Structure 1
């Protein structure tokens, strides 16, 4: 059974959890254990995390993997601090938009980098401080805006964007990579890399099972309940019986998340 993200109600288990509204995600569910595109799912007790009271189940089910990989990279790995500047390559995408929100909630300056300006009603469109188009002049424009480079780059594109990502950070800057769009093998100047003392970090939320992902989901709750974080737009809703149509819709491309409901 496929399906990675979820939001629902506990119907069996310890008495203190019966009836609790929970949410979650995990790199194991839908892959090495039965997934969430079903009426019921069985998960470990450690995987339970109470969903934000401010979100509906549909909204909560659309958070999972994008916000977990965004939090894992920015907070756990790069340890992004208030007042730092982060460049987000692919800011208009699902993960990029989550990174933008988390960074702004932590009091950071955010530079969005993408091939096209973000939609005005998207997280990137509402929250980024500056937009820089992704082209052969990206690095010089970002350095001009920052006086030499950013503290952190979150590259949600990778591959064809990798060399650009390395060129955006100041000395001892942190570069986060989660993808390999266009090519999986890359070249870069090793001398420039070590002279700049760049920290290069790979981020893979698929390595976190549903139990390991639960603390990150819990860490996100405060942001959604306070309004500092906003759920992504839901493009389409399908009842479980129409799951095939939902998958076809995702394959065709949507401007938002697609959710399955009971």
Structure 2
């Protein structure tokens, strides 16, 4: 099958388009014909070798954890899905090798849910990782309650845009950092935008003088440091970008595949609670360009790779 792969760590230039072996379908997996796969920052961080300490690579690595597609063959023990089912998945294993930037992927059932009927394959591909991250951080790590004020960083990005929508659905007031060009977009999601950068603390204090109840950090570094000083007494801080969150009394969080949570996101998408904004799409053979665009860190919503799978 055709796929994107890399045989060594490096920049986008190490990504190669060509033939790789067809995936083997285990008893607890299904073979999915990939229709679209979203790009996430973790993809290029893995490609650069930044996660080498926790995820062992088995080269050549096919990148990608997000997928939307169609089931073409269930494994021997699978009863949840059948041929022709449209599915989405956060297809992460405990090592790097068999990703979703390919014509087919063998996806463990624990990583899948049915695709939202009201989303295109491209939109649906952008939901699993970002949606699960936002959902698990807000409901399980931060435990956001109705009436609380939540600060979400990079609110126009993939994770941030979903977090704003879910936060509002949970009954919270959501303040979201974004560039000025994305303020209208954040307002449309239900958030109150503030410009990031120098003076951020004062701008947030202007909206929440007593501080915020919860901070959802997606940036790390200086942003994390500033955020720690904005948390009200008894408030919570979670970062998905910087493990030093624990030094500020917060928590570092890494999303996990969860079929039940993913199905809940499908339901919320079908109810119109959650939408996915796709900023740009690329064909599979141009996945390196998709990586470059995502790595710039200025995209609104998701960058998605479309796959024309062989029948």
TM-score, normalised by the number of residues in structure 1? 0.80
Match of 1:66 in 2: 130
CA distance in 2, matches of 1:259, 1:139: 37
Q: Which runs of 5+ in 1 are unaligned?
A: 194-198
- Pairing 1:153–2:215 present: yes
Cα distance in structure 2, aligned partners of 1:144 and 1:75: 27
Separation in 2 of the partners of 1:98 and 1:89? 12
Residue 229 of structure 2, aligned match among 161, 167, 187 = 167
2: CA distance, partners of 1:40 / 1:109: 41
User: How many Å apart are 1:175 and its aligned residue?
Assistant: 0.6
Structure-1 separation of matches of 2:65 and 2:273: 25
Q: How many residues align?
A: 241
The match for 2:6 is: none
More strand by share: 2
The equivalent position to 1:21 in structure 2, one of 86, 93, 97, is 86
Contact kept, 8 Å, 1:59 with 1:234, in 2: the verdict is no
* Distance change (3 Å), C-alpha of 1:204 and 1:118: farther
Matched, 1:218 2:272: no
Separation in structure 2 between the aligned mates of residue 46 and residue 187 of structure 1, nearest angstrom: 30
Aligned equivalents of 1:174, 1:117: Cα separation in 2 = 27
**Matched residues in 2 for 1:119 and 1:49: separation?**
31
Describe the shift of the 1:45–1:248 C-alpha distance in structure 2 as closer, same or farther (beyond 3 A).
same
C-alpha contact 1:86 1:153 (8 A) present in aligned 2: yes
Q: CA RMSD in A?
A: 2.7
**1:6-85 equivalent positions in 2, closer than 5 A:** 6-13=67-74, 14=78, 16-28=81-93, 31-85=95-149
Query: What residue in structure 1 maps to residue 252 of structure 2?
Result: 202
CA distance in 2 between counterparts of 1:58 and 1:92 reads 18
Quick check: 2:176–2:192 contact (8 Å CA) kept in 1? yes
Q: In the TM superposition, what is the alpha-carbon distance from 1:153 to its structure 2 partner?
A: 0.7
Equivalent position to 1:117, from 173, 177, 180: 180
Structure 2 gap segments, 5+ residues each: 1-61
Aligned match of 2:241 in 145, 169, 179?
Answer: 179
Taking the aligned partners of 1:247 and 1:5, their CA distance within structure 2 comes to 14
Distance change (3 Å), C-alpha of 1:21 and 1:92: same
Higher helix share: 1
